[in-house]
Amino acid sequence: MHRALTNVLIKVFAAGFYQVHIPILFFVFFVMVGCVPGNMLISYHESLMIAMCSSPVMLMLVCAGWLIYIIKSWHYIATQLQKPEKQFLFYSANAFEGKKQIISWCYTHIAIISPILIYALLAIGVGIKHHYYLLPGIIAAFLIITVYGSALLYTSILNRLVDGSKQSLLLKLSSKWRKPYFSLYIYNVFDNLKVQYFITKGLSWLIITGVFYLFADVKTDIRVAGIAILAVITAHVVVVFEQRRFEETRLSFSRNLPYSRGKLFGNFIGVYSLLLLPEAVWLFSRFSPVMAIGLLLTGLSTVMLFHSLLYRFDLNMDKYIQYILALFMVLFWVIMFHLLWVLIPLNLGVAFLIF
């Protein structure tokens, strides 16, 4: 029965995604194929796949690029589901039980990420052929988690939009509590963005586990922890984007409140401190207090920089993702050159100036 729903979702969302993003995909295809001489094409990509399956740093960079593509698909489908012409899905798709919806969305997401999936499967095959097993396994785990997590996200959005008045248990229990200004987005996360948040935390756990397992021989190197924190913060870009959207659409009244820029900036630091609480617990359980505080401040300064950039892009997700990718590369090399502690005042200073 779910085949009919799968066909509709693929035609509506997967085909639409490719129509919108075909110029970018052609550009990537040209870079991957057109810029390499024909007689070297196979050997070039085989070398690239071997590097992915043998070098943790190379795999991390590739997965960061794949994650940005996946985030773009999340944003596209979430935006499309809000449009009036997609209202028929609220009545037809929800006639199916949740399990069948998830299966259909899995097929749809597989269709959307098929370029990544094909290349990743080829890389896994090449890695196994050359007797690399750990990193190909991580590639497979990454694909499975993102496909299933994306399906859960889309199903949650579709079911939530049917009854927009339904409140979470948290809001019902806290209806009479006093709510400081900085806590409003926290309540919004656990009312409307639970799936996005927990998918992000799942990715954080995968990143932290993967980085420290792959770099077990140099796990005491502060750069390893810095790279892990940078990757974790980059995985939060959807949560950061939704925070800025919530501020613009639901908290516009706050411009009339007697809050200074410094206090507002501090409020946002408080928001992200709470959202990064699981990562903070991990830091303090693994490192000395001084080291943990430094790494946490690095993460907070980076997420504030990512947040402040959105004041320049007017909630343009495509442009925002491009800048995040560029920033990730810059910050990655800053950390590699043992300048981790420089990032704290630098990121906070630039973030506050933009803010």
**Confidence at 85, pLDDT banded by 50, 70, 90:** confident
47 & 189 share domain: no
**Confidence at 218, pLDDT banded by 50, 70, 90:** low
Count of domains for the chain: 2
**Confidence at 30, pLDDT banded by 50, 70, 90:** low
143 & 235 share domain: no
Do 282 and 329 contact (CB within 8 A), yes or no? no
Of 147, 165, 183, the position where a domain reaches its end is: 165
Do 162 and 82 contact (CB within 8 A), yes or no? no
55 & 128 share domain: yes
DSSP 234-298: HHTHHHHHHHHHHHHHT-GGGGGS---HHHHHHHHHHHHHHHTHHHHHHHHHHS-HHHHHHHHHH
Mean pLDDT, to the nearest integer, of 313-320?
A: 78
Question: Residues 255-272: pLDDT tens digits?
Answer: 777 888 888 899 899 989
pLDDT at 26: 66
283 & 190 share domain: yes
Of 123, 140, 165, the position where a domain reaches its end is: 165
Distance CA 199, CA 317 (A): 19
155 & 184 share domain: no
Question: Residues 161-172: pLDDT tens digits?
Answer: 544 455 556 666
Question: Residues 221-250: pLDDT tens digits?
Answer: 788 888 889 888 988 888 888 888 888 887
322 & 290 share domain: yes
How many of the other CB atoms lie within 10 Å of CB of 190?
14
Question: Residues 140-191: pLDDT tens digits?
Answer: 999 999 999 889 888 888 776 544 455 556 666 666 777 777 778 888 887 7
304 & 159 share domain: no
Q: Mean pLDDT over all residues of the chain?
A: 82
pLDDT at 3: 79
87 & 72 share domain: yes
pLDDT at 2: 60
Radius of gyration in angstroms for the set of CA atoms belonging to the chain, rounded to a whole number: 21
149 & 217 share domain: no
pLDDT at 7: 87
Q: Which pTM value belongs to this model?
A: 0.62
305 & 329 share domain: yes
Distance CA 132, CA 137 (A): 9
Answer yes or no: is pLDDT of 280 > 60: yes
3-state secondary structure of 165: coil
136 & 221 share domain: no
Answer yes or no: is pLDDT of 31 > 60: no
Q: Between residues 345 and 287, which one has the greater pLDDT?
A: 345
304 & 171 share domain: yes
**Confidence at 305, pLDDT banded by 50, 70, 90:** very high
Highest mean pLDDT among 20-29, 79-88, 341-350: 341-350
pLDDT at 24: 66
Mean pLDDT, to the nearest integer, of 5-33?
A: 75
Query: 50 lies in which domain range?
Result: 1-165
